[in-house]
Amino acid sequence: MKGRRRRRWLQATRRRGLPGGARPAEMYGVCGCCGALRPRYKRLVDNIFPEDPEDGLVKTNMEKLTFYALSAPEKLDRIGAYLSERLIRDVGRHRYGYVCIAMEALDQLLMACHCQSINLFVESFLKMVAKLLESEKPNLQILGTNSFVKFANIEEDTPSYHRSYDFFVSRFSEMCHSSHDDMEIKTKIRMSGIKGLQGVVRKTVNDELQANIWDPQHMDKIVPSLLFNLQHVEEAESRSPSPLQAPEKEKENPAELAERCLRELLGRAAFGNIKNAIKPVLIHLDNHSLWEPKVFAIRCFKIIMYSIQPQHSHLVIQQLLSHLDANSRSAATVRAGIVEVLSEAAVIAATGSVGPTVLEMFNTLLRQLRLSIDYALTGSYDGAISLGTKIIKEHEERMFQEAVIKTIGSFASTLPTYQRSEVILFIMSKVPLPSLHHPMETGKTGENRNRLTQIMLLKSLLQVSTGFQCNNMMSALPSNFLDRLLSTALMEDAEIRLFVLEILISFIDRHGNRHKFSTISTLSDISVLKLKVDKCSRQDTVFMKKHSQQLYRHIYLSCKEETNIQKHYEALYGLLALISIELANEEVVVDLIRLVLAVQDVAQVNEENLPVYNRCALYALGAAYLNLISQLTTVPAFCQHIHEVIETRKKEAPYMLPEDVFVERPRLSQNLDGVVIELLFRQSKISEVLGGSGYNSDRLCLPYIPQLTDEDRLSKRKSIGETISLQVEVESRNSPEKEERVPAEEITYETLKKAIVDSVAVEEQERERRRQVVEKFQKAPFEEIAAHCGARASLLQSKLNQIFEITIRPPPSPSGTITAAYGQPQNHSIPVYEMKFPDLCVY
């Protein structure tokens, strides 16, 4: 056996050119002098390198090396160390052909070997890649990056607990910012850097045992590097390649590659990593002043919103809101850019899940709106102008305010109905209302801070209410919201009143009829408008029973304002028309006709001393509405009366029709005092013709009087309380001991109906009495008022004296009574110590 081994050894040494009796080199300590005596793995590695590096890798010898590595995996780490040694030596000697061959061999070994000892081989591989990346030669950097990308795509069977990629993150990020003089080389280096970062992300993002790539120290390098290449897309597209080269150039575009890498990075982000990924984006946009053009910032956040998981959208919104608060003292253009980005992101997030950030978002936007108003009024961010204070441009603040309002509207339009209702109530609760406890403040420009806040919040509310669809008006316009909204409808500011009217129109219009009433006219046939009319629902009927008088009162008082312009009358006409279409039943139609006839009386009597234009506008408004309602009711006699009056006005008084009033140059009359009855719509005639068609003629005959105010309601409660106390007193007097109680009246439907009708008449009489009292105190002489008050004071004093005599009467005497003169018994008061008590009371 030993002889056979000896013969084989001799044959092998002869083939290698050794003398037959030569001993192994290890026995003599000269292993480095003779290549044939070196370890086998080294000889296999040496054999893959050709004499001429241009010939490339020797494939047959590479297959032998691969087979050896698979057969003896414990030698894999030594193979890697030896290849690394050769590569470092070749780099130092500028033998770049052999460097490429060494990297190709490493790549093939990595792809072929998946054993437990590959970790040690990977360390040598990463050491060689790092050596190439440290080189100043672009080709070596690209070569090292390509090898790293191939390694990143390999799924390792065994985890590594000590591997670090900090150097590669830093180096690849640096390559992404390459500024090489040659445009083509710069593009290749940047693309290699992006591919390297993509490889690092793929290698580490899903492996909990690897370095945490989501740490801020890594994200602060990766994300800005990708954004930098996204930002310079124009530079990459500045060259115009030929049509044949266009597809190839598109593949070499760093911007597209960076976008794909960013999408992949964000798509792999978990819930707790979103913040670390978004914060570098915000910082990058701040540092490079990219909020003002807004185009790139919007593009970035669209990529972000469409890449992350939908349930993480609200985290991005929260980050933007926090960033907006942090930049509350930045320039208006910067804040406007953030708000517009927020608008785009919020619309995308609303299609997924916004979560609890709905009211938080609106609260932040409204707070920024208030701050902007303060900045515009004071002219500085600190409230006072000093030498170092940055002066604020008012038009930029206006631009920012419009951006905020637009964002509020665009985001609210994507919300479901229930959330939209909450937002509407939330915004309305922020509108400041006049109060004795909150005096109105004035700013530098003389504009009122509260007025500006009211206008901006009402604009926001109008944006939210536009397109709002709700089948139940009770939920769309709850009492607390309607009360606050209508309280602003009677303010002196014409702009605020117009906003309130438009908001009401947006809520009531549920079938898209609003634009059909944008112009006031007296159409002979309203079928050309193609109105969408539905039957009034039960919920709408309940709403009108509860709030109709409140709406009528504010419409009536709004018509009497002197500062009204054409837009106000168009809004009033649209509001009346939409109520008639959306919420009207027979009772509502009757009340609306009474209301419009009362408006006609306002123009005719002119107790408010309205200008000529306002009076003509009221006449025209009444004509247009009655023309519309007559055709909606389809009562021929009613339509005929309205048509006759309109035709008469066309011939004799065209200034009382909308076609002559609501134009750019209205044609008005200088004298409106002698209006003949033929030019007016007569209440008696209308009640007669409608009464014959089943409408309540008795109610039509009653002139419209505005609803009671809050003070009237209080006095009404007081009178009810007095009535109840009076009933209690009567019942106590008519006790069963004295006489039998009168049987109660049976309550029926007719009794209740009669009581309601009577209560309306009583309320109107009460209002008339109060009006007379107020008029008396306004016009009567002072002596008469003083005498009246003195008489009431003396009457009050006499009543008080009677009460005191009854309540302070002395106790009866135990000894009996004393008869005074005239035979009247008189109670005599005896001191307690002189009273005689019975024996039973003595203890």
**Among 76-85, 197-206, 381-390, which stretch is predicted with the lowest mean pLDDT?**
381-390
Question: What are the pLDDT digits (tens) for 108-139?
Answer: 887 777 655 566 677 878 888 888 898 888 88
Asked, for residue 72, whether it belongs to a domain, the answer is yes
SS3 439: coil
In a domain, 732, yes or no: no
φ/ψ of residue 300, rounded to 5: -60, -45
The number of folded domains in the chain is: 1
**What mean pLDDT do residues 539-558 have?**
91
SS3 826: strand
The string of pLDDT tens digits covering residues 382-434 is 655 544 456 677 888 899 999 999 999 888 888 888 888 888 989 998 888 76
Task: Encode pLDDT of 166-182 as tens digits.
Answer: 899 999 999 999 988 88
Length of the chain: 843
**DSSP character at residue 441:** P
Q: What are phi and psi of 714, to 5 degrees?
A: -60, -45
Token pair belonging to 762? 């009583």
Residue 76 domain-assigned?
A: yes
- B/e letters for 227-255, b = 16+ CB within 10 Å, e = fewer, are bbbbbebeebeeeeeeeeeeeeeeebbbb
d(CA 416, CA 678): 52
Q: Which residues contact 84 (CB under 8 A, 6 or more apart)?
A: 124, 125, 127, 128, 131
Q: Which residue has the higher pLDDT, 584 or 303?
A: 303
Render pLDDT for 209-230 as a digit per residue (tens, 0 to 9): 556 788 899 999 999 999 999 9
User: What pLDDT is recorded for position 28?
Assistant: 36
The pLDDT of residue 823: 41
DSSP code, position 744? P
What gap in Å lies between CA 423 and CA 359, rounded to an integer? 7
| Residues of the domain holding 103 | 33-159
Query: Domain for residue 111, yes or no?
Result: yes
Q: With a cut of 60, say whether residue 260 has pLDDT above it.
A: yes
The confidence score (pLDDT) of residue 717 equals 36
Alpha-carbon distance 586 to 575, whole Å? Answer: 18
